[in-house]
Amino acid sequence: MTAFGSKPADLAMPAALFFDVDGTLVWHDPDAATGENIVSNPPSAEVYKAFHALADNGHKAFICTGRPLSLVAQDLLDLKPAGLISGAGATIVIDGKIVYQNGIARELLDQTLKVVFEAGAGVMYEGASLCVSLVPAGVPYDDFPGVATVHTVEDFYALAGDEVFDKISFMNSEVPALRSAWDFLGKHYTICDLGVGVGEMSVIGTDKGSGIHHALEALAKLDGTDAAADAAYRTFAFGDSENDLPMMRVVDHPVAMGNALDSVKQAASYVTASVQEDGVPAALRHFGLI
């Protein structure tokens, strides 16, 4: 497919690029647990080379992931991105500093904890510095490596303290239990299928698209320009799942992975190879960025 967008593919114009992680930069072994994939699977050698080449060519590469900052592994930081959009748009880091944060308000968190717990669902609450799984006693649940699991709301509060949580994630196996809370959740959260047996809930209005907007604003301030950063850069987004759709809508060149959900491919202007086939480096070469 040929790329479309509000800006032409002017090779002299620097690019700001936003990359999903799971299913885009990192392959998931379908036979492994989700937590093990997140903890254990690094990007390929070709992806590392591509990120370093982007920087050498004057482009700004951002990781734009549903993972909270607390679960962004060192092997992703070793890509040396220009910045991180984590928690599906809730937290933004540039030059090692949090420049924007907009998590679940405490009152909404209190209501959500009660409703989801009473529904009998086990879910993970994800924050920039801490994640906590709250699982009612007797509910089957695969513990996530490095994440504490508690079984009462009281224990959750005791562990979480004042942590501001970005979003909530859940295994697809929890959907039947969550359905009894669907009306409440749908009023307050955007619910997405991540395509790897996992779903997530983000506060309505906070998503990867809004994250890109705030990241570009922060980038413009750092560049010392009065103009918006999206006027200074060609923008690209790379993704594979439903939570990538908001960022596809706000960039000049939306790129879907070959392994992407059909809805993501339909929203893209270009479909590259799969993550297993190093689709990200292939697309970057296609656009003349590396």
pLDDT at 35: 52
Predicted local distance difference test score (pLDDT) of residue 273: 98
Q: Is-contact 238 23, C-beta < 8 A?
A: no
pLDDT at 5: 47
CA atoms of 108 and 55, how far apart (whole Å): 40
Beta bridge partners of residue 91, listed in sequence order = 86, 101
Q: Nearest Cα to 88, choosing from 230, 176, 198?
A: 198
pLDDT in tens, 70-90: 999 999 999 999 999 999 999
Q: In the chain, what percentage of residues exceed pLDDT 70?
A: 89
What's the pLDDT score for residue 3? 40
With tokens 């992680």, the residue in question is 21
Q: Map out the domains of the chain as residue ranges.
A: 15-102+207-286, 106-203
pLDDT category of residue 27 using cuts at 50, 70 and 90: confident
Question: Quick one: 222 exposed, middle or buried, by C-beta within 10 A (0-12, 13-18, 19+)?
Answer: middle
| 183 compared with 37, residue with greater pLDDT | 183
Residue 128: pLDDT band by 50, 70, 90 thresholds? very high
Q: If you average pLDDT over residues 86-109, what whole number do you get?
A: 95
What mean pLDDT is reported for the chain? 90
Does position 196 have pLDDT exceeding 80, yes or no? no
Residues whose CB falls within 8 Å of the CB of residue 196, separated by 6 or more in sequence, listed in order:
22, 23, 28, 34, 37, 241
Q: How far is CA 123 from the centre of its chain?
A: 17
Where does residue 46 fall: left (phi above 0), alpha (psi -120 to 50 degrees), or beta otherwise? alpha
Whether the predicted pLDDT of 162 surpasses 90: yes
Please, which residues have CB within 8 angstroms of residue 239's CB and are 6 or more apart in sequence? 19, 20, 23, 24, 64, 208, 245, 247, 248, 254, 255, 256, 257, 260, 264
**Reported confidence tier of residue 285, pLDDT bands at 50, 70, 90:** very high
14-32: average pLDDT = 84
User: What average pLDDT does this structure show over 160-167?
Assistant: 95
Name the more confident of 13 and 257. 257
- Of 31-35, 44-48, 54-58, 200-204, the one with minimum mean pLDDT is 31-35
Query: Hey, is 208 helix, strand or coil?
Result: helix
Assess whether the region 15-102+207-286 and the region 106-203 belong to the same CATH fold. no
Is the predicted pLDDT of residue 32 greater than 60, yes or no? Answer: no
Class of domain 106-203: alpha beta
> What's the predicted TM-score (pTM) here?
0.87
The CATH architecture of the domain made up of 15-102+207-286 is 3-Layer(aba) Sandwich (3.40)
The pLDDT value given to residue 228: 59
Out of 33-47, 137-151, 183-197, pick the least confident: 33-47
